[in-house]
Every structure is written in C-alpha cells, then in structure tokens.
Amino acid sequence: MLTRRSALAGLAASAAAGSLVSTAAEGPALPVCAFSKHFQWTSVEETASLCKELGYDGVDLTVREGGHVLPSRVAHDLPRAVEIVRKAGLSTPMVTAGIVDAASPHAETILKTLASLGIKRYRWGGFRWDEKQKPEAQISSFYDRTKQLDALNRAHGMCAMYHTHSGPGQFGNAFWDIFTVTREFARESISINFDIGHATVEGGFGAWMSTSRMLLPYSRGIAVKDFYWEKNARGVWAPRWCALGKGMVNLPRFFGYVKEAGFTGPIQLHLEYPEMGDAHTGKGMTIERSEFLRLMRADIATLRGAMRQAGLA
C-alpha cells in the first residue's frame, strides 16, 4: 500500500482525474449547498424555504445525532426531509452522515436509504491520530477500516467523502495522510470532502496550494469557510473563523485550482464564526433572524463572486 511505486502511480493518475470526478450531482454542475447544521434551530420545512429564498442550489442535510435526521430514524425521516427540500426547488446531492466506518451505528441503513433516494454522496470521517502509536501502523489500520467501508459503499452504489479537518489529532490534518489512504480506492466509492478553510489553517503560507492541487482530483465535495489567527481568551494563538473574504482563505486562487482539477460536485458553505450566534454550532439561534439572513446572504455573494472570477459560474 505504501510503496514508492503506488505513490507515483497515484500522483500520475491525478493528472487525468478531471474526467473521473462525479457528474452525478443534481442541478448545476457546481451546486452551492447550505449546511443544514446552521438551520437546526428550525424545521426542515423552514430550512428549505429559507435556503430557496437565500439563493442556494441545494441542501446538505445532517444525518447524525443532533441533526435534522437522526440515524435511528433515517429510513422513515430522510425520505420525508428530501421530499420537502426537493419540493422547494432545491437539490439534495449529498448528506453529512455520522459515519466513521462500516461499524458505525445504522451505517448500512443510512446507505440503503440514500441509495433509494438517488443520493450518491455522503460526508464521512472522524479517524483520530494516537501519539502513542507509530503513524505507519495507524495508517494501515485506517486503510483496513476504509476498505470495509468501501465494500459497503460499492454494495449500495455510494460514495463516501472524507471531510478534512485541521487541528491536533485529526487524521487528514496533514492531507498527505488521507491522500495515502484514499488514492488506493476508486473515487466512485471512496473520496475526499476538501475543506479549504481547514487546509489554509494547516498550510496558510503556501502548503494549501500544493495540498489543493494534490487532493482536488480525489475530491467529490468541497467545503468553504474562512478564518484568521488571533489569541484566544487563554492567550493562545488559534484560528478565529470569520465571514468569507475577511480572513486568510484565498478563494479566487483556490477556485482556479478547482477549475484546473475539472471538479464537478457539491460546494458546501460553512458559516462557523461566532457572529452567527449558536447557529454556527448547530445548537440554536441566538441572534436576530434578520441578522442571520444578512450574514448568510453576504457569504453566498462572496462565494459566488469568487466562483465567477475563476470562470466557474
């Protein structure tokens, strides 16, 4: 799995990857999707109505504990939620699932239900590094767990997209680590959900550029957010999430790489900054509704502007 030959083969394959990236998304080739975590303070009905009003193309429904759809009720509740979203004139090209591996509770039921609804992609992830173990052994373990999930995906015609996070202990924070695993599988079943905000946190000066070019051909989804560094209340430098265009993420250049990769698939807008009130955590709504909508409209406009600048919209 970790030979020099396989590494070179994986890198060579990325050059022609554009033609292999999914074209199965509903609606536009690059649908801009709302992350329903930010709307968990309200019903699916109002979420769909607001997302249509705001100008989204689709909704990335949360199918996990605390989400709009609970995993234990997925077979009953997800079809209804998807029907509501689609009746509002929006697509449902993906969901964010609480799946870490094939052994996650309700994993197969979630995949069966998604397949029955024609939703081929879901966000997956959550592997953690253990500093007490050697990285090589852990990568081997993560590969084995991914292989089991791959078999489950192929059985149901599904594609899992591993979401890249930044921070200590996060597998995928170095980006070569998740690349090492996912390149061994067909992108129709195992791929990446590339988060440019987290990529910039981990490689803000220049590594995010090579990281983007390396991983985008293996990505079937993209998440967008922005941040800058500041000292927190404990006096420790930490990422401070902010509105798009106010931080360090270079969206125009990033979308140039997106175009170069031939990417087609859902783009999820994440609004993780504190000005959004508790809506940024998915736990409630603590700001005025009008302010919530104003902030979201501004970020949507910034996102679409960067896409147009790169010739993607």
pLDDT at 175: 95
Mean pLDDT of the 202-219 span: 96
Angle, in degrees to the nearest 10, between helices 44-54 and 289-309? 50
pLDDT at 15: 38
| Nearest CA-CA partner of 96 in 216, 284, 266 | 266
pLDDT tens for each residue of 63-90: 999 999 999 999 999 999 999 999 999 9
Position 3 pLDDT exceeds 90? no
DSSP assignment letter at 170: B
Position 279 pLDDT exceeds 80? yes
Which segment of 10-24, 71-85, 149-163, 189-203 scores lowest on mean pLDDT?
Answer: 10-24
Q: pLDDT exceeding 90 applies to what percent of the chain? A: 90
Tell me the pLDDT band of 290, cut-offs 50, 70 and 90: very high
pLDDT at 263: 96
Position 26 pLDDT exceeds 70? no
Rounded CA gap, 98 and 125, in Å? 8
> Is residue 56 classed exposed, middle or buried when 0-12, 13-18 and 19+ CB atoms within 10 A define those classes?
buried
pLDDT at 28: 77
Where exactly are the structural domains of the chain?
Answer: 23-225+252-267
Mean pLDDT of the 27-48 span: 94
Structure tokens at 68: 């709009």
pLDDT at 313: 77
pLDDT tens for each residue of 98-138: 999 999 999 999 999 999 999 999 999 999 999 999 999 99
Rounded CA gap, 141 and 48, in Å? 40
| Nearest CA-CA partner of 293 in 267, 266, 275 | 275
pLDDT at 29: 83
DSSP assignment letter at 175: S
Which residue type occupies 138? Q
- Specify the CATH superfamily of domain 23-225+252-267: Divalent-metal-dependent TIM barrel enzymes (3.20.20.150)
pLDDT tens for each residue of 142-163: 999 999 999 999 999 999 999 9
Rounded CA gap, 254 and 234, in Å? 32
**How many residues does this entry show for the chain?**
313
3-class DSSP assignment, residue 213: helix
The residues with which 163 forms a beta bridge, in sequence order, are 193
Tell me the pLDDT band of 27, cut-offs 50, 70 and 90: low
Position 21 pLDDT exceeds 80? no
pLDDT at 124: 98
Its pTM stands at 0.90
Mean pLDDT of the 268-274 span: 97
Mean of the per-residue pLDDT values for the chain? 92
DSSP assignment letter at 164: P
